[in-house]
Amino acid sequence: MIPQIKTIEEYHQQYTQSIEHPETFWAGIAEHFEWKQKWTQVLEWNFTEPKVKWFGSGKLNITENCLDRHQTTRRNQTAIIWEPNNPGDKSRHISYGELFELVQQFANVLIQQGVKKGDRICIYLPMVPEAVVAMLACARVGAIHSVVFAGFSSQSLADRINDAECKLLITADGMIRGEKKVELKQIADEAMQLSPCVERCIVFNHKSFTVQMQAGRDLWWNDLMAAASPLHEAESMDSEDPLFILYTSGSTGKPKGVLHTTAGYMVYAAYTFKNVFQYQDQDVFCCTADIGWVTGHTYIVYGPLLNGAVTLMFEGIPSYPDTGRFWSLIEKHKVNYFYTAPTAIRSLQLHGEEPFKGKDLSSLKVLGTVGEPINEEAWHWYHQNAGKGNCPIVDTWWQTETGGILISPLAGITLLKPAYATLPLPGVQPVLVDEKGNEISGNGVEGNLCIKFPWPGIARSLYGDHERFRSMYFSTYPNLYFTGDGCKRDEDGYYRITGRVDDVINVSGHRIGTGEVEDAIDEHGYVVESAVVAFPHEIKGQGIYAFVICDRNVPDEEVLRSEIRNHVSKMIGAFARPDKIQMVNALPKTRSGKIMRRILRKIAEGDTSNLGDISTLIDPLVIDAIKAGAENLNG
Ligand code: 7RM
């Protein structure tokens, strides 16, 4: 059993030990896993190349830790509860014994399809247990999974498949979320037109939609499973063998394939799950993230299964069939831990207390939030209404690149402050730095958040582009991992994340690069240039504001706006559609040709009283025109 901190004194004592003797500390945690061969060197690292190796020379398979090891004690215990989109449809309970068998079968299917250790496999599936089976089967045979969120467009799917050169795609006929039908196989077909590297496509029949199956390429999941043996011996993996790739947006260029490896990620996912949420055996854990984001990977799949937990997978959305759905789901499955995003909380807040009426939420012990800063009002509303004032809220700060939670309260142990992620977990050494890269020491300060020592879950590279990995995260401040987030440390040493300081926008907890949206907009025939910034949005946290220059007279601005929005949907996905589009004649540029986003952000925020220093602008008059246009647009 993975150790669990029980008191705040124990936290402080372990924190100190983890900083003074990190190798001893993490070796002590790693001992609680199944190894085929023990490691010989706990840690080898530098942040200049950068190079990070945890548990060097160790051999293991993460699925033996998720499945095989639980077979003697938990064969009949539920591993996954699946709650469908439509509450009238039957939910599913899959035991550790059943999951083990499914994963072994699908591992044999993969082998039969020619999958070898190190191959990349793309998973484009709805929120169904088969997604978990597919991920674990990849890990079992040593293939690297790349899960793509099923809200991405065919173009984005193709970009991700091509970047990792995936030879197999696993998808479904389609899905229904809320009332929206999504034809996944059709989207996958379009993507495969652009992705010649895909040799085979395995299709899970979820909703019996009509699909086209291309002979020799497309195969049905059920046919393959029916013919596959339920016995598979897990591949022996090196600690540092890749486990998965997950694409995420940065401030510039195409999405990056964040690469995680086996042992460090495993140890970190399991340890943080058990300690942050204070998970108790047999309890029901529900994380509402999608499996296509890192939160789904670590806290729906790996963290819970490594701990032998009961993990609930919810296919639907918070507003279907009504805005009480979360609360019905908690009541129905007697959920003990509920982990969701601030954006969902804010959207439910609008509907008041009515949706809670008559619902028994007494099973709840701990609430959690993730993905974006939570405002104090939303925090209190969640605390009062979902938690009835007596469930701690863990505001967990982390990133795709960190693999697991880095800064968070330990539920019921750390004294809370609304909207604060509070204190670093053991092994995590945050530092705040100023613009020049000097460390800001002491309390009551604010700066850019960096981490100065590796933890086991840190990403090891960007797939196929280690130089970009170095320059994105390790070159801004020498010898530090730079998170891209701004942060305050208050008088008590508590951390409060204030949001991104780079050109990444966080819309409803979805990370979107301004550059990606601009590239999509610029493809419209009328558009010569665009600049995208965030503005505060009551529900989504941030919204997308696009300033667009056209090279001809626009006959109908509304038509153009909707064409631009549709094009962004097509290139990225509906979640990246700009909320506001303002046509402008020019953008504020410096003499060196750089767009002054700071000024555009101020205008988008509606705060034009003080635009700061505009002396470096080539043509300050441009600003008056943009200001006037913005007032026009926003009323
Ligand atoms: C887990 C996840 C990462 C970015 C990160 C932050 C923001 C995440 C919090 C938060 C304030 C939080 N991975 N973020 N958690 N901001 N408080 N508790 O979200 O790669 O998709 O996004 O999300 O800006 O850098 S992610």
Ligand 1 atom having least distance to the Cα of 483: 25
Q: What is the pLDDT of residue 558?
A: 94
Reported residue count of the chain is: 635
Q: Is 392 in the pocket of ligand 1 (CB under 6 A)?
A: no
Angle, vertex CA 48, rays to CA 45 and CA 49, nearest 5: 80
Lowest mean pLDDT among 159-173, 443-457, 608-622: 608-622
Cβ-contact 534, 505 below 8 angstroms: yes
Structure tokens at 204: 């899970």
Q: What is the pLDDT of residue 217?
A: 98
Q: Whose CA is nearest to atom 23 of ligand 1?
A: 371
Cα–Cα distance measured from residue 410 to residue 11, given in angstroms and rounded to the nearest whole number:
9
Q: Is 291 in the pocket of ligand 1 (CB under 6 A)?
A: no
Q: Are strands 495-500 and 481-489 parallel, antiparallel or unpaired?
A: antiparallel
- In angstroms, what is the span from residue 265 Cα to ligand 1's centroid? 18
Q: Is 297 in the pocket of ligand 1 (CB under 6 A)?
A: no
Decide if pLDDT at 601 tops 80.
yes
Q: What is the pLDDT of residue 412?
A: 98
Return the best residue to mutate from 248, 406, 497, 542 for the ligand 1 pocket (most ligand atoms within 8 A of CB).
Answer: 497
- 8-state DSSP, 83: E
Decide if pLDDT at 603 tops 90.
yes
Decide if pLDDT at 252 tops 80.
no
Q: What is the pLDDT of residue 543?
A: 97
Q: What is the pLDDT of residue 185?
A: 98
**Structure confidence by residue, pLDDT tens digits, 104-155:** 999 999 999 999 999 999 999 999 999 999 999 999 999 999 999 999 999 9
Nearest in space to 463 (alpha carbons), one of 160, 195, 256 = 256
Decide if pLDDT at 600 tops 80.
yes
Q: Is 371 in the pocket of ligand 1 (CB under 6 A)?
A: yes
**Mean pLDDT, the chain, whole residue set:** 96
Return the best residue to mutate from 300, 395, 399 for the ligand 1 pocket (most ligand atoms within 8 A of CB).
Answer: 399
Q: Whose CA is nearest to atom 16 of ligand 1?
A: 372
- In angstroms, what is the span from residue 371 Cα to ligand 1's centroid? 4
Q: Whose CA is nearest to atom 12 of ligand 1?
A: 397
Q: Is 372 in the pocket of ligand 1 (CB under 6 A)?
A: yes
- In angstroms, what is the span from residue 370 Cα to ligand 1's centroid? 6
Decide if pLDDT at 393 tops 80.
yes
- In angstroms, what is the span from residue 112 Cα to ligand 1's centroid? 39
Q: What is the pLDDT of residue 615?
A: 79
Confidence of residue 590 (pLDDT cuts 50, 70, 90): confident
**Structure confidence by residue, pLDDT tens digits, 26-83:** 999 999 999 999 999 999 999 999 999 999 999 999 999 999 999 999 999 999 999 9
Decide if pLDDT at 253 tops 80.
no
Decide if pLDDT at 635 tops 80.
no
As a whole number of Å, the end-to-end CA separation of the chain is 59
- In angstroms, what is the span from residue 417 Cα to ligand 1's centroid? 18
Q: Which residues of 87-102 are buried (b: 16+ CB within 10 A; e: fewer)?
A: eeeebeebbbbbbbbb
Structure tokens at 77: 């215990």
Residue ranges of alpha helices (H) inside 75-205 are 96-112, 129-141, 154-164, 184-193
Q: Whose CA is nearest to atom 3 of ligand 1?
A: 399
Cα–Cα distance measured from residue 126 to residue 144, given in angstroms and rounded to the nearest whole number:
19
Q: What is the mean pLDDT of residues 443-455?
A: 98
Return the best residue to mutate from 398, 416, 458 for the ligand 1 pocket (most ligand atoms within 8 A of CB).
Answer: 398
Angle between helices 184-193 and 154-164 (to 10 degrees): 50
- Residue 26: CB atoms within 10 A of its CB come to 24
Q: Is 66 in the pocket of ligand 1 (CB under 6 A)?
A: no
Q: What is the pLDDT of residue 541?
A: 95
Structure tokens at 113: 């399809």
Q: Is 396 in the pocket of ligand 1 (CB under 6 A)?
A: yes
Q: Whose CA is nearest to atom 19 of ligand 1?
A: 371
Q: Whose CA is nearest to atom 4 of ligand 1?
A: 399
- Residue 446 pairs in a beta bridge with 488
**Structure confidence by residue, pLDDT tens digits, 171-224:** 999 999 999 999 999 999 999 999 999 999 999 999 999 999 999 999 999 999
- The string of DSSP codes covering 41-78 is EEEEEETTTTEEEEEET-EE-HHHHHTGGGHHHHTTSE
- In angstroms, what is the span from residue 257 Cα to ligand 1's centroid? 17
Structure tokens at 8: 């705040």
Q: What is the mean pLDDT of residues 92-107?
A: 98
Structure tokens at 505: 């926008």
Nearest in space to 152 (alpha carbons), one of 117, 121, 123, 118 = 123
Q: What is the pLDDT of residue 616?
A: 79
Structure tokens at 69: 């090891």
- In angstroms, what is the span from residue 373 Cα to ligand 1's centroid? 8
- In angstroms, what is the span from residue 235 Cα to ligand 1's centroid? 33
- In angstroms, what is the span from residue 403 Cα to ligand 1's centroid? 12
- In angstroms, what is the span from residue 524 Cα to ligand 1's centroid? 31
Q: Is 500 in the pocket of ligand 1 (CB under 6 A)?
A: yes
Q: What is the pLDDT of residue 233?
A: 98
Whole-structure pTM value: 0.96
Q: Whose CA is nearest to atom 10 of ligand 1?
A: 372
Confidence of residue 380 (pLDDT cuts 50, 70, 90): very high
- In angstroms, what is the span from residue 451 Cα to ligand 1's centroid? 15
